[in-house]
Chain A
Amino acid sequence: MYILEVKNLKKVYTPRFGGNQVQALSSVSFGVEKGEYVAIMGESGSGKTTLLNILAALDTPTAGDVLLNGRNIGSIPQKEIAAFRRDNLGFVFQDFNLLDTFSIRDNIFLPLVLARKPYQEMERRLTPIARKLGIEPILAKYPYEVSGGEKQRTAIARAIITNPQLILADEPTGALDSRATDGLLRLFREINEEGQTILMVTHSTKAASFAQRVLFIKDGEIFHQLYKGDSSEEEMYQKIADTLTMIATGGERRG
């Protein structure tokens, strides 16, 4: 039973004021099982962000379906989309997307406040998460006062505090230095080991090597996939690097 199922997704951008149409996704199909940690890799401009935005119902596909827990998100009325997204999905973005008008604590609370949770419950949920992510000392600070790694951990806290079905991450390590990147990837693995399903989009081989499965996207299609199985991060890293070289040199497709 897939928690997320994507069928024949197609996306064509039609510029508002004329000009050439851009086919960002031609036909994308895949499934994610509950508790899985999947990475999607592809070159810049290959349609990763487009795919993620459609999965998050931030954008609508030209054709195709997205099923979350068997429910077609295309059939959700526009009015309920925001609540649906809030209750089921957690986001981590490359540029963190924290609000500079809120303290770190309030940034994390934001989805709960929108869901009208009582204050006591917010605090109760925050305590263990903040401890695990090591952001307890900075809760009262403001985004401009903390480092990039801390900002990203805040974004993760905000993403998981609603107990979402699925976490969507778009280049979460893109703005981090290598130390912060390592920390973040370990965190993702820990969260995943506790049962959280994660779908991460990245073009970093290192980030992808932490996932259980890596999908490669090229020319708007899923081109190839790799399972980590029992291999170590180093072995996985090597496999991914080989695959990328193969894709770049236009090698044959393997199933």
Chain B
Amino acid sequence: MGRFFYWKLAADNIRKNIQVYLPYILTCTATVAMYYLMHSLSQNSGLGKMSGGDTVQMMLSFGFVVVGIFSAVFLLYTNSFLIKRRKKEFGLFNVLGMEKKHLARIMMYETIYIAVISISAGLIGGIVLSKAMFLLLLKLLRFEVQMGFEISGSAIVFALLLFGTIFFLTLLSNLRQVHLAKPIELLKGGQVGEREPKAKWLLTLSGLASMGTGYYLALTAESPIAALTLFFVAVILVMIGTYCLFTAGSIALLKLLRKNKSYYYRPNRFTTVSGLMYRMQRNAVGLANICILSTMVLVTLSTTVALFVGVEDVLKTRYPRDIVISSYGITDEYIDNLGATVAQVVENHNLVMQDPMEYRMLSFVGIAQGNEFLTDEPSLNISPSRLKTLCFIPSEDYSGLTGEEVQLAQDEVLLYSQGADYEYESLSVLGRTFSVRKQLNELPAVTEWDISGRHFLIVKDMDVVEEMYHAQADVYGEHGSKLTYHLQFDFPGDVSEEGEIAFYKDLRSSLPSGGVSRYIESREAVKDEFYSLYGGLFFLGLFLGILFIMGTVLIIYYKQITEGYEDKERFAIMQKVGMSREEVKRSIRSQVLTVFFLPLIVATVHISVAFPFITKLLAVFSLRNTLLFATCTGGTVLIFALFYGLVYHRTARVYYRIVSM
């Protein structure tokens, strides 16, 4: 045998099995390209120099790690489909007298071919696409477009190492399979007698229970802070539930259907129920994977799209005023001083303050217990929803904000609650009891939402506030709060972005300090940061979304093909026994449709249940436009379903061709 015999044989094998190899090679190529793109962008020198660019680069490096891990898991998984298909062929070679070491050689050459083709095509594709991706990213981030073309050496080296290792691992696992198998098993390939699945009631019930609990948690989570802590618990419960119900629940349900004799023994149901049982047994895990992957795609895409589209909304919510100055640990003298400085800087810049608002406040945290707020309990194992911030504001400042005169007695308060209702007539904290004279529906100037609930108490005067200040300082010691002063105002609409930023910079350097810590927030000054943050998230979401979709598509494609070859024989038998072609087709269709669309349907249910939950989470990111988020989610689901339907259409054709061959 010539030196090139095995190389030629390996190439022939790939060509003969092109129907299963082409999608695999394409996917490998695409993952290599995506990995290169992510990695090279995360190292792009131009991006690093831009303001906010480092945040984006950090996200991108997170992204390339995810792509790397996903590629490894995913390519190993799809490779197992391939080897299952090819076992028979190897068995034949083996029976025809080819030794296992020769088989190993052929497999190695095949792997080398595929690795070389897909890694080089992927890298070339990645390099070609990287410029376009870079421009897209800059556009999303609203960065200046800049020229130049970079090829990242380290991204290439890492891609070579990573994918070289992955291909090596696939080769090892294939060799192991062939090495362990006896020729006769190889010949039989995947079709070693499958046992009839047992109904696992316990698993079904625990699946139902954990799915139910997960859903319940998602639907009943109240405050965003509670939602945050419950997020992972609910997600994990629902994931467990999904796996249990796909694997055990589906079989249990089908068994129940089969027990009902008058239901089961009808032509269509007979073949469909038993066929589904068989399919679910071998595919349940794959389908659950597809379901969870789809859910991930949908959540990632809809939230990042919503955040990006809603970034102006977010800015308005998070920064309701053009300028907000907050000072901690104030004195009267400081306040006067600050006022004068701000007025001076405003004048220097030829600006005017619009609608200025100022107030003094003391805020500290208490643990709600009915109408009492405790300050002496260790807060370690307190449910976060009980932690409330109490904010005291003197009535004179309240009058300044609202223009409304109020006369309050020493122990009377006006109360405004944010993020939760307050249902008591009085409120006790630190030995003082206040009676609530009136609940307010709104309180100007404090539109920013805290993630936990807040109670604002308008008290008689600054003396009461100071009394509370000393009381909490005694209890909390060095963790106690300081008295704060807040000044906020807008500029007229015609002030330019640059003008505002210049003002902000100037003000920052001229504010008096005098032992007071102070923070200036300017909406314009943070805008870029928001765009780079949410634009980066969007880019990442889009990128990972596409990667996950690709994964889903490939798994589906291979499932269908594998099944096609196995179903072929089964349907041939049914026709011999007297089933018409039409009946066979109908039965196939209902089985394939069920198996295909079950994950999508379940994913959509997951998303709908998660919707209120995610809405609350987005509120933490200051996105409160529920309609916007609903539109983005609906749109994403729709586009995804369309895409899914298209893939179904394509693979179903291949499937029918195989079955009716």
Contact = CB atoms under 8 A, between A and B. Distances in A.
A100 B194 contact: yes
Interface in A134-160: 142-144, 158
Interface residues of B, number: 26
**Which has the most chain A C-beta neighbours within 10 Å: B193, B194, B575, B578?**
B578
A83 interface: yes
Nearest to A102: B274
Given A100-B193, A103-B196, A113-B265, A82 B578 contact: yes
A149 to B, nearest CB: 17
A114 B267 contact: yes
Contacts of B578: 82-83, 85-87, 111, 114-115
Contact of B577 (A122, A143, A144, A158): A158
Contacts of A101: 274-275, 277-278, 570
Interface string B228-259: 00000000000000000000000000000000
Interface string A79-91: 1011101110001
A80 to B, nearest CB: 9
Given A79-B580, A82-B583, A101-B274, A144 B195 contact: yes
Interface size class of A (residues with CB under 8 A): 20 to 34
Given A97-B573, A144-B193, A83 B580 contact: yes
A63 interface: no
B573 A99 contact: yes
Contacts of A116: 266-267
B261 interface: yes
Contact of B270 (A83, A91, A100, A106): A106
B420 interface: no
A226 interface: no
Contacts of B575: 58, 82
Interface in B564-595: 570, 573-583
A242 to B, nearest CB: 35
A126 to B, nearest CB: 12
A144 B194 contact: yes
A109 B194 CA distance: 21
A118 to B, nearest CB: 8
Interface string B263-302: 0011100100011011000000000000000000000000
Nearest to A87: B578
Contacts of A119: 261-262, 265
A122 B261 CA distance: 11
A205 B573 CA distance: 28
B149 to A, nearest CB: 49
A149 B583 CA distance: 30
Given A102-B274, A106-B274, A144-B194, A114 B265 contact: no
Contacts of A247: none
Contacts of A102: 274
A244 interface: no
Interface in A44-64: 56, 58
B424 to A, nearest CB: 65
Interface string B525-549: 0000000000000000000000000
Contacts of B580: 79, 81-83
Contacts of B274: 99, 101-102, 106
A67 interface: no
25 contacts: A58-B575, A58-B576, A79-B582, A82-B578, A82-B581, A85-B576, A85-B578, A86-B578, A87-B578, A91-B576, A99-B570, A99-B573, A100-B193, A100-B194, A101-B275, A106-B270, A106-B274, A109-B270, A110-B574, A110-B577, A113-B265, A114-B578, A142-B196, A144-B193, A144-B194
The 4 closest A-B pairs by CB, nearest first: A86-B578, A144-B193, A82-B580, A101-B278
Interface of A: 56, 58, 79, 81-83, 85-87, 91, 93, 97-103, 106, 109-111, 113-116, 119, 122, 142-144, 158
